[in-house]
């Protein structure tokens, strides 16, 4: 697959592919998720999630479990992600782990980094609803006194450095410094309002007043019209599949050594 045409302008290491899954595949996956037993969910304070492919130990070793057939076979998400080439240098040349997050309207995820357990590539598939995904950078120590928020003692610049509108069925692939040195997050809002431009320059997200960096790559004409004409998109329930390759996987030898 020629990924270069999906590169988001202004990023050089983030790719956006609309319609990565078909509508039928999306409907099937959402049905499988909604049919899953209550105990397969992990409840967090402000959202819930499932782990597909196993749990990580405190030392970042994956205790592997088979991925469900609705990730490997129908739809064949794993081979499809492999065909993009972004996992060709990872330990298993394929994602072996998926975090499936559920977001109700008004739910989001605080700016964070994904950490060292994974090969530094993440593919995030959206189902059911759009969202707006922001990348943030840390401030340099010499940049201004307005200390707004921090993690690990470092100050996060609260103005996103890149903002991407994720349509249902799309995948966004984060690599390079966007994985290794930036943070990412989703704001807790029930709707997204856009500021129209003349169609020659990027439309903007109201409130934060940042550009929608992937506006030229959007797949749905309805979404594109809304975004370009200063419309509003209401969020509905979104399921996201965060697909990564965990480098260290437990085998019999590592299991015995743990004792």
Q: Tell me which of ligand AKG, Fe ion, none is bound by residue 224, counting a contact when its beta carbon lies within the kind-specific cut-off of 5 to 8 angstroms.
A: none
> Which range binds Fe ion by CB under 5 A, 60-68, 69-77, 107-115, 193-201?
107-115
Comparison of 122 and 223: residue with beta carbon closer to Fe ion: 122
Of 9, 19, 76, 114, which one interacts with Fe ion (CB under 5 A)? 114
Using alpha carbons, list the distances in angstroms from residue 209 to 31, 75, 124: 36, 37, 24
Give the whole-angstrom CA distance, residue 63 versus residue 243.
16
Q: Provide the b/e sequence for 146-172 (b: ≥16 CB within 10 Å).
A: eeeeeeeeebbbeebbbbbbbbbbbbb
Comparison of 76 and 114: residue with beta carbon closer to Fe ion: 114
Q: Tell me which of ligand AKG, Fe ion, none is bound by residue 135, counting a contact when its beta carbon lies within the kind-specific cut-off of 5 to 8 angstroms.
A: none
Using alpha carbons, list the distances in angstroms from residue 11 to 4, 8, 52, 93, 203: 12, 6, 29, 24, 17
Q: Which two tokens stand for residue 98?
A: 């998926």
CB of 259 to ligand AKG, least distance (A): 31
Give the whole-angstrom CA distance, residue 6 versus residue 18.
9
Q: Tell me which of ligand AKG, Fe ion, none is bound by residue 215, counting a contact when its beta carbon lies within the kind-specific cut-off of 5 to 8 angstroms.
A: none
Comparison of 15 and 133: residue with beta carbon closer to ligand AKG: 133
Comparison of 8 and 99: residue with beta carbon closer to ligand AKG: 99
| Interface residues toward ligand AKG, by CB under 6 A | 99, 101, 109, 114, 124, 133, 184, 240, 242
CB of 89 to ligand AKG, least distance (A): 21
Comparison of 9 and 114: residue with beta carbon closer to Fe ion: 114
Give the whole-angstrom CA distance, residue 179 versus residue 137.
11
On the CB side of 100, CA atoms within 13 Å amount to 22
Q: Tell me which of Fe ion, ligand AKG, none is bound by residue 243, counting a contact when its beta carbon lies within the kind-specific cut-off of 5 to 8 angstroms.
A: none
**Interface ranges with Fe ion (CB under 5 A):** 114
């Amino acid at each position: 697959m020629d990924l270069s045409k999906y590169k988001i302008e202004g990023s050089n290491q983030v790719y956006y592919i609309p319609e990565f899954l078909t509508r039928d595949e999306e409907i099937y996956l959402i049905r499988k998720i909604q049919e899953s037993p209550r105990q397969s969910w992990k409840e967090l304070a402000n959202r819930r999630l499932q782990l597909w492919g196993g749990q990580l130990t405190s030392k970042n070793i994956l205790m592997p479990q088979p991925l469900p057939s609705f990730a490997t076979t129908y739809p064949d998400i794993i081979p499809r992600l492999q065909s993009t080439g972004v996992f060709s240098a990872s330990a298993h040349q394929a994602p072996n782990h998926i975090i499936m997050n559920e977001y109700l309207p008004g739910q989001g995820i605080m700016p964070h980094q994904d950490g060292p357990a994974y090969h530094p590539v993440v593919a995030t598939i959206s189902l059911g609803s759009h969202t707006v995904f922001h990348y943030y950078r840390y401030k340099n120590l010499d940049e201004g006194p307005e200390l707004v928020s921090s993690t690990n003692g470092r100050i996060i610049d609260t103005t996103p450095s890149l903002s991407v509108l994720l349509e249902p069925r799309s995948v966004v692939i984060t690599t390079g410094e966007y994985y290794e040195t930036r943070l990412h997050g989703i704001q807790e809002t029930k709707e997204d309002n856009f500021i129209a431009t003349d169609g020659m320059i990027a439309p903007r997200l109201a409130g934060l007043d940042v550009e929608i960096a992937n506006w030229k790559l959007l797949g749905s004409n309805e979404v594109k019209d809304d975004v370009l004409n200063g419309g509003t998109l209401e969020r509905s329930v979104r399921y996201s599949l965060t697909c990564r390759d965990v480098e260290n996987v437990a085998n019999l030898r590592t299991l015995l050594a743990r004792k």
